[in-house]
């Protein structure tokens, strides 16, 4: 890698450090304007005293902002509830007890006694039979369908 030739005069931006040509009026990166001659400290001090102060900034973390938003939502909900309740006509929110009819119990039949299941397996009533597969039987599915 070769160094760039430094035949032309350059200057460095005091704000961002970008190298610019000597006759540049403004920095291409940050936009700082260069004056023809550097100002004296007294001129800079008077310029700063003339400038207006910055507006104060409020910085909140995300959880704090969500908490404040939730608190404001609850306050608005409670206020709207009480305002709606106060503006409603008389008797709107009163509750009236309505009697619930009781059902008469029906007679239940006692369960019948059933015999417990046997522990011994029962015998199959059909004896097994033999079947010989032939060429004309078709597929296994057709044989199974015939015996099902």
pLDDT one-digit tens code per residue, 60-74: 899 999 999 999 999
Give the range of the structural domain holding residue 24, as residue numbers without chain letter.
9-35
Is 18 part of a structural domain of the chain? yes
Is 131 part of a structural domain of the chain? no
Is 26 part of a structural domain of the chain? yes
Provide CB contacts within 8 A for 33, sequence distance 6+.
Answer: 25, 26, 27
Provide CB contacts within 8 A for 147, sequence distance 6+.
Answer: 131
Burial (CB count within 10 angstroms: exposed 0-12, middle 13-18, buried 19+), residue 34: middle
The pLDDT confidence band at residue 7, using thresholds 50, 70 and 90, is: low
Is 29 part of a structural domain of the chain? yes
The C-alpha angle 60, 61, 62, rounded to 5 degrees, equals 115
Indicate the number of domains in the chain: 1
Is 84 part of a structural domain of the chain? no
pTM of the model: 0.29
Is 19 part of a structural domain of the chain? yes
Is 77 part of a structural domain of the chain? no
């Amino acid at each position: 890698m070769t160094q760039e030739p430094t035949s032309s005069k350059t200057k460095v931006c005091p704000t961002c450090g970008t190298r610019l040509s000597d006759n540049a009026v403004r920095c291409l990166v940050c936009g700082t304007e260069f004056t023809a001659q550097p100002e004296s400290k007294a001129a800079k001090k008077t310029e700063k005293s003339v400038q207006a102060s910055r507006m104060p900034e409020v910085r909140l973390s995300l959880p704090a902002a969500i908490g404040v938003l939730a608190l404001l939502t609850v306050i608005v909900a409670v206020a709207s509830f009480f305002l709606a309740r106060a503006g409603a006509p008389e008797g709107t929110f009163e509750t009236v007890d309505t009697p619930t009819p009781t059902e008469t119990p029906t007679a239940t039949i006692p369960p019948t006694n059933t015999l417990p299941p046997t522990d011994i397996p029962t015998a199959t009533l059909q004896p097994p039979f033999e079947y010989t597969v032939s060429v004309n039987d078709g597929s296994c599915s057709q044989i199974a369908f015939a015996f099902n």
